[in-house]
Structure 1
Amino acid sequence: MFSGFSPRGSYRLLNHLIKERHVLKIGFISCTKKKKEFSCPSEEMYSVSPLFQKAYLYCKDYYDKVYILSAKYGLLKPDQVIDPYDQTLNSMKVWEKREWSERVYKQFLSESNLTCYRRSIIDPGSPKKN
Structure 2
Amino acid sequence: MNGSEEPESSAVSRQRPDLVLVGCVKTKHEVTSAAKDLYSSPLWRCRRAYAESLGCPWYILSAKHGLLDPDERIGYYNLALNDLRAEPRRAWSTRVLDELKSRVPSLRNKLIEIHAGATYVTYGLEQGLRDADATVHRPLAHIAGVGRQQAWYRERLRRGCA
Q: Give the alignment's TM-score, normalised by structure 1.
A: 0.74
| Equivalence for 1:80 | 72
Give CA-to-partner distance per residue, 1:27-54, whole Å, 9 cap, x none. 11110100010111100001x2111111
Q: Is the 8 A contact 2:31 2:76 kept in 1?
A: yes
Identity %: 30
Task: Give the Cα separation in 2 of the matches to 1:103 and 1:116.
Answer: 16
| Equivalence for 1:120 | 110
| Equivalence for 2:47 | 55
- AA paired with 1:36? H
| Residue ranges of structure 2 left out of the alignment (5+ in a row) | 1-9, 116-139, 148-162
- List, as ranges, runs of 4+ consecutive aligned residues in structure 1 with deviation greater than 4 Å: 127-130
* Matches for 1:28-107 after TM superposition, within 5 Å: 28-46=21-39, 48-107=40-99
Query: When you count strand as a share of all residues, which structure comes out higher?
Result: 1
| Residue ranges of structure 1 left out of the alignment (5+ in a row) | 1-9, 19-23
Task: Give the Cα separation in 1 of the matches to 2:60 and 2:112.
Answer: 13
SS of the aligned residue for 1:90 comes to helix
Q: Is the 8 A contact 2:28 2:38 kept in 1?
A: yes
- AA paired with 2:52? K
Q: How many residues align?
A: 109
| Equivalence for 1:110 | 102
TM-fit CA distance, 1:60: 1.0
Does the C-alpha gap of structure 1 residues 116 and 103 become closer, same or farther in structure 2, counting only changes over 3 Å?
closer
Structure whose CA Rg is larger: 1
Does the C-alpha gap of structure 1 residues 117 and 89 become closer, same or farther in structure 2, counting only changes over 3 Å?
closer
| Equivalence for 2:126 | none
- AA paired with 1:59? A
TM-fit CA distance, 1:88: 0.5
Q: CA RMSD in A?
A: 2.5
Task: Give the Cα separation in 2 of the matches to 1:72 and 1:122.
Answer: 22
SS of the aligned residue for 2:71 comes to coil
Q: Give the alignment's TM-score, normalised by structure 2.
A: 0.60
TM-fit CA distance, 1:120: 1.1
